[in-house]
Structure 1
Amino acid sequence: MAITNIYNKLARLFSTLFVPPSLTVIVFFYFAFSLENRIEKSIIVFAIALIFGFILPIVLFVYMRRRGKIVDVDATIKEERTFPFLIAVLFYFGGLLALIFFNAHIISIALWFCYISNTLLTALINRHWKISAHAMGVAGPMAAVSFVNINFALVLGFILLMTGWSRVKLNCHTLFQVLAGALLGTFSTYFQILYILKYFNYAR
């Protein structure tokens, strides 16, 4: 019983810490301060990610929880997820325009574009089946980071494994829903970024 309780607490910790907006902050902090060539620009890029990819989505979630539009912290009812996904797309569009305006690094812009396309795809799938947004939210940034730093990508891979385990452990998703989110997030993001980099003739 004690071991089970520890596992449940660990699962809750990973599930809470590594929500998709958290990965946005982590990865864009890394991108902003490793890819940009001026500290002022690094701060701007990170601020854009913080506002449009973390603060606004979290505020939306808290607001909907307080209004009773989302019944629990895990958003276990799939029908309650569609509206937040669509509003998040609007936030991401705002972030994309800001990144383009400030001429952010192409990899940052490419990943941000993937946030829009992947969220739309998730919302579409969610109408019929509750794919794991947590898994997609880690897998996408992991795929993007693999273009820059494979060691960091491996760290994110470990976080993906633990986050996926936590969602199954908490009975928020089936193993198949987590695997589907992980695979879709990884391959969708990787190939979209690969295409964007080739289109803009970016050489690593």
Structure 2
Amino acid sequence: MSVKPRHTSPSGESRPARLITDSLEPKTWIIAVTVLMGWHADRLAGVGWGLVAALFSAAVPVLFIKWGEQRGHWGDRHVRRRQDRLVVIPGIMASVTTGIALMVLLDAPNEMIALIVAMLVTLIAILIITLAWKVSVHSAVSAGAIMMLALAYGPWALPAFLLVALVGWSRVKLQDHSLAQVVVGTLLGPAVAGTVFSLLR
């Protein structure tokens, strides 16, 4: 009787890769960066703004994706098919734009507005690339979040790029992305989000 390797799921999928992909998905990074940036911007009051930002940039998008998943519009919460992402990303952009408008109206700290605008511009860049190619959103979001934290808090945040490497490995291991798609995402996030955040903060 054969015994399946302990490091794989019954379907042959790598359990460590699945755990990393699911645990360090974009919403995790978005919640972390909005709360941490909120603390940097205005301590406890800033954390409140961070939670508002997380609502529109993470919570509402997750509910939108869950809604589409339950109705069979896309396969799972990671929206693997490129064509489906062309619907999901604009939906997320609408939520983020609403959050930006609300935060501007209520006079949120400039650093928080810069953070969310940087996220929106990154989404626009991802959408443009996704018209022809399935760039890794996991890699772009995680790398962009760390770059913005490093710009705010200093270089102590940079070692967290090791987690980005783990995320990229998991995406390739699960065959959800090619190595090239992960590398481009890893470069895109810091380049776009970091630049926009630096200019607006």
By the TM > 0.5 criterion, same fold? yes
C-alpha distance in 2 between matches for 1:49 and 1:193: 15
Deviation at 1:114, TM superposition (A): 1.3
Aligned to 1:19: 25
Structure 2 gap ranges (5+): none
Q: Percent sequence identity over matched residues?
A: 20
My pick for the range that moved more, 28-37 or 126-135, is: 28-37
After superposition, residues 22-33 of structure 1 pair within 5 angstroms as 22-33=28-39
Contact 1:35-1:105 at 8 Å conserved across structures: yes
Task: For residue 105 of structure 1, report the CA deviation from its aligned partner.
Answer: 2.9
Q: 1:152 aligns with which of 141, 148, 157?
A: 157
**In structure 2, what is the Cα distance between the partners aligned to 1:134 and 1:19?**
6
Aligned residue number for residue 71 of structure 1: 75
Which residue is 1:108 aligned to?
112
CA distance in 1, matches of 2:104, 2:158: 25
Structure 1 gaps of 5+ residues are 198-204
Q: CA RMSD in A?
A: 1.8
Map 1:50-69; keep pairs closer than 5 Å. Answer: 50-69=54-73
Distance 1:153 1:52 in 2: 26
Divergent runs of 4+, >4 A: none
TM-score normalised over the length of structure 2? 0.89
**TM-score, with structure 1 as normaliser:** 0.87
Contact 1:21 1:58 in 2 (8 A): yes
Question: Deviations along 1:153-185, whole A, 9 cap, x unmatched?
Answer: 322x12211111110000000000000001011
